[in-house]
Amino acid sequence: MASHDKNLITCVEFGTHSVKALHGTRDKAGNPVVLGIGQVPSDGAVCKGEIVQMRQAAAALEKALASADKSAGIVSERRNVYCIVNGPGVTSRQGEGQVIIYDEDRKIRRSHIQEAVNKAQSLALPAEQVYLSSFDSFFLLDSRTRVQDPEGQTASRLEAFLHIFSASRNQLETTRDILRELGFEDRIEFVFAPVAAAYGVLQEEEKNDGVLLIDMGAGTTTYIVIRRDGILASGILPIGTENIANDLSIGLDLSIEQCRKMLIDQTLSRKIKNGEPFIDAGGPVSGTKRKIPVGSFERIMDLRLREIYSILRERLDPRTYAPQTECGIVFCGGGALIPSARKILGEDMRMPVRPGIPFGLSGAMSDLETPVRHAALLGLLKYVTAAEADRGSAGSRFGDALEDFGENLFKKVKDLTRVFKI
């Protein structure tokens, strides 16, 4: 095995079902290349996207990193790492900043934009929360004209609207301690899960015309609304496929492990697609077998899915997502692989739905049987490579500089918080 070069990018994710590690790099054109991937069960170390057992989580990540090393054929020096952050400890808020234009010509300059953005970013956070990142939503001229780039336009008042993410200080510190214990010291950066997923699966047309991205994992379901490269809404539901597995376990008198396996290895999907009427399953007494109608599984799953979608509808303001999502819904994560999940989502939200399959990556993608399940991790690699390739020049709205406890990941450019294209 060879040691890595300076261009190695390591991405990790602590998920409710599994802990993942990915090694990647950039090709000569700056495009992301997957070198190796490792994945091991979380075994209770992570719940609803948050680490609850530090030692177990550290041990799981160490195994995942070793597996990624083996897959990539390298011995990685643990220097920089980029980590998905998820769970109820992450919150989003809308920040607003206003500037009066006193210049005689009323022309909006970069300094005005910077001032408005700074005011919007100065949103007071609860003591237990730390600033994670912010992204442009839109600008308003004279309280009536909505624009994405106000520079050079004429107005008496400029208002900046930013989508601001913050995270639990304790949650980030716990994750940081684990990463440092495993040797990562130079740079540890955090990216909110649906932001990373957006990088992985959204097309340019969708980002421009408006789209709702939903990522359903084992312990959480995250969502984000993007239009014209600005984030209009986002959030986390502490519910996911683990709840579906639990419902199946209780409703059909099966072990939770058996139900999880059926969902993960797509046993149910294959049975339903093949039109098979029964599933062979273990009985309540060890060693016994029984046949359970496929329809029994479907009814239980459908009820839970509709409940999740109902909660999602309540979270989303129809005035925000419905008119702003011309391209419908992109659905990724393990939940997108559940039979009928996409169909029910489209019916309940009354919008077209497509699977969120990561694209624009090369390399060891064959190591992943179901890339849709790993949209956030693969998207994180695209996120980092896009930022590094774009370093030194300004870009579009979505994706300004991440900050980690106040330290910029990427430098500010042209006196404005740095932005780059997803």
pLDDT of res. 286: 57
Q: Contact at 8 Å (CB) between 42 and 17?
A: yes
- The reply to whether domains 96-166 and 204-356 share a CATH topology is no
pLDDT score of 325 more than 80: yes
What pLDDT digit, counting tens, does each position of 111-155 carry? 999 999 999 888 778 888 988 888 878 899 998 888 888 999 999
pLDDT of res. 246: 96
- Tell me the CATH class for 96-166: alpha beta
pLDDT of res. 113: 94
Q: Which of 391, 398, 396 is nearest to 413 (CA)?
A: 391
pLDDT of res. 77: 84
Q: How confident is the model at residue 94 (pLDDT cuts 50, 70, 90)?
A: confident
pLDDT of res. 416: 28
pLDDT of res. 2: 55
Q: Quick one: average pLDDT of 273-293? A: 76
Residue owning tokens 């992204």 = 135
What pLDDT digit, counting tens, does each position of 203-259 carry? 999 999 999 999 999 999 999 999 886 898 899 999 999 999 999 999 999 999 989
β-bridge partners, 106? none
Instruction: Name the more confident of 388 and 329.
Output: 329
- What's the Cα-to-Cα distance from 81 to each of 75, 187, 409, rounded to whole Å? 15, 6, 12
Q: Which of 161, 173, 99 is nearest to 134 (CA)?
A: 161
pLDDT score of 106 more than 50: yes
The token pair at 191 is 């990216």
The domains of the chain are located at 96-166, 204-356
Portion of the chain with pLDDT greater than 70, in percent: 87
Portion of the chain with pLDDT greater than 90, in percent: 59
pLDDT score of 414 more than 50: no
**What pTM was estimated for this model as a whole?**
0.86
Best CATH choice for the domain 204-356 from the list 3.30.420.40, 3.30.70.100, 3.40.50.2300, 3.40.50.720 = 3.30.420.40
Geometric angle at alpha carbon 237, from 232 and 242, rounded to 5°: 145
The token pair at 179 is 């990463």
Q: How confident is the model at residue 413 (pLDDT cuts 50, 70, 90)?
A: very low
pLDDT of res. 390: 59
Q: Kind and range of the H or E element at 221?
A: strand 221-227
Q: Contact at 8 Å (CB) between 135 and 148?
A: no
CB crowding 21-56: b at 16 or more within 10 Å, else e: bbbbbbeeeebbbbbbbbbbebeebbbbbbbeeeeb
pLDDT score of 392 more than 60: no
CB crowding 151-170: b at 16 or more within 10 Å, else e: eeeebebbbbbbbbbbbbbe
Q: Contact at 8 Å (CB) between 379 and 197?
A: yes
The rounded distance, in Å, linking the Cα atoms of 182 and 84 is 17
Q: Quick one: average pLDDT of 369-387? A: 91
The rounded distance, in Å, linking the Cα atoms of 175 and 179 is 6
